[in-house]
Structure formats: C-alpha cells, structure tokens
Amino acid sequence: MGEILARYDFVGAFWLTIQLSFWSALGALMIGTVLAVLRVSPVPVLRLLGTAYVNLIRNTPLTLLMVSSILGLSLILGLRLSNDVKTDAFLWAIVMLSVYHAAFVCEALRSGVNTIPAGQAEAARAIGLTFNQSLTEVLLPQAFRGSIAPLGSTLIALIKNSTVASVIGVSEAAGLMATIVENETGGVPVFFVFALGFVVLTLPLGVLFTSLSRRLAVKR
C-alpha cells in the first residue's frame, strides 16, 4: 500500500485537485454573482437571460460539458487555451467547472436576496443610491451573508465534482486513482486513501462555512 503510493504522485494529484477547485470556485463565484444580478434586475430581457443560463447549465451533466469543451471547443473549433495539451485540458476544466457551478452559486445568492426585506432596497433608493450602488452597498453584501451556508455546500460539491476533469485527461486525484486501480492489485485500500483525501479537503470547509454563516448572519 505505502509502496504503491510511493511510486505514484499522490500529493501532486491532490495538489492539482486543490488548484482546480480554487480557480474554479473563484470563477464560479464571479460568474454566479453576475448571473444573480441578472436574475434580480428590473430589465425583463436580462432576467430571462439569467434564468435561461441557470436552467440550461444546471440540467446538463458536467461530464457532457467537460467532454464537449475539449472535443468541441478545443479540438474541433480550435479554441486552444494553451499550446500544451495538458495545460489546455487543465484550463478548460477550470472554465467548465466555473460555468457549471456558477448556476448553483447564482441560485444560492438568489435565495440570499430573497431573505432581504423589500424595505432595504427601498431605503437604499430613497437616500438616492443608484441601482448599482443599492446592489453593491446594500443588497449583495446581505445576500452573500445570507447565503454562506448554501455557498459552502456548492464549494464542497465543486471540489468533489472536480474529479470529472479526469475524463479529459487532467490527472487530478480521481484520475490518479483510476490509473493506480488499473495497474496495481489491491485496489480497495487505495480507494479508501483517496476517499480519505477528499474528506480531509471538504470536512474542515463544511465546519468553517457553518461557523461563518452563524457569525456573519445579518441580525434583523
């Protein structure tokens, strides 16, 4: 067991998982925030756009998005993000993980927006804040605080979903595990080691987000 792990780059694979998750989480948060703004905007066309994105992306399997990025966008349409095949796959994985989880971030934020009483937005407008200022000063800060718990769940899901990147050849943790299980005997302990690896990544995050959501909750 130890000897197997010594021959493969166990730490390197998990490091890749962490990098993949970190950048995708950042991307998902940014795209998701924009989507949430679209979905609460007073302009019907923008709302429709946001709703269409969420429904389309949320109901498409991640594996499909992942494979179509590499086959469709990178290979067929030639949209290379890097000349190096490995880096190209890594970057596309980040893009697709971001795009996919943005839909969930958007919904988490929107549930946060829904916890804000209508009077908060009215008071913001009444002192002369523009729509954008009301959003950035009053609504979004309260929405983020109100949606920390579901955002945490989305992040944990994202970390585990990053394993899907192995289908396009990104050798993160699950990719390495598949390789080991294929080439070595005694796959079950290997499987447990990898499962434990993910628990070590996600469990503290869950605890952190629970305590954050309690500490930062907006008291009314």
Partner 1 sequence: MQNVNKHFGDLHVLKNINLSIDKGEVVVLIGPSGSGKSTLCRTINRLETFETGTITIDGRTLPDEGKELANLRADVGMVFQSFNLFAHKTILENITLGPIKVRKTPKAEAEKKAMELLKRVGVEAQAQKYPAQLSGGQQQRVAIARSLAMNPKVMLFDEPTSALDPEMVNEVLDVMVGLAKDGMTMIVVTHEMGFARKAADRVVFLSDGEIVESNTPNEFFSNPTSTRAKDFLSKILTH
Nearest to 160 by CA among 172, 169, 151, 149: 172
Question: Which of 35/124 has CB closer to partner 1?
Answer: 124
Long-range contacts for 202-210 (Cβ within 8 Å, ≥24 apart)?
A: 202/156, 202/159, 202/160, 205/152, 205/155, 205/156, 205/159, 206/152, 206/156, 208/152, 209/148, 209/149, 209/151, 209/152, 209/153, 209/155, 210/149, 210/152
Q: Hey, what amino acid is at 81? A: L
Question: Which of 81/129 has CB closer to partner 1?
Answer: 129
Q: How far is the CB of 45 from partner 1 (least distance, A)?
A: 16
Q: Hey, what amino acid is at 56? A: L
Where does this chain bind partner 1 (CB under 8 A)? 117, 119-120, 122-130, 133, 137-138, 141-142, 145, 218-220
Question: Which of 43/79 has CB closer to partner 1?
Answer: 43
Q: How far is the CB of 154 from partner 1 (least distance, A)?
A: 22
HSE toward the beta carbon, residue 162, CA cutoff 13 A: 33
Q: How far is the CB of 150 from partner 1 (least distance, A)?
A: 18
Question: Which of 32/146 has CB closer to partner 1?
Answer: 146
Question: Which of 96/108 has CB closer to partner 1?
Answer: 108
Q: How far is the CB of 128 from partner 1 (least distance, A)?
A: 3
Q: How far is the CB of 144 from partner 1 (least distance, A)?
A: 9
Measured between alpha carbons, how far is residue 144 from residues 16, 109, 165 in Å?
A: 28, 6, 28
Q: How far is the CB of 205 from partner 1 (least distance, A)?
A: 24
Question: Which of 124/158 has CB closer to partner 1?
Answer: 124
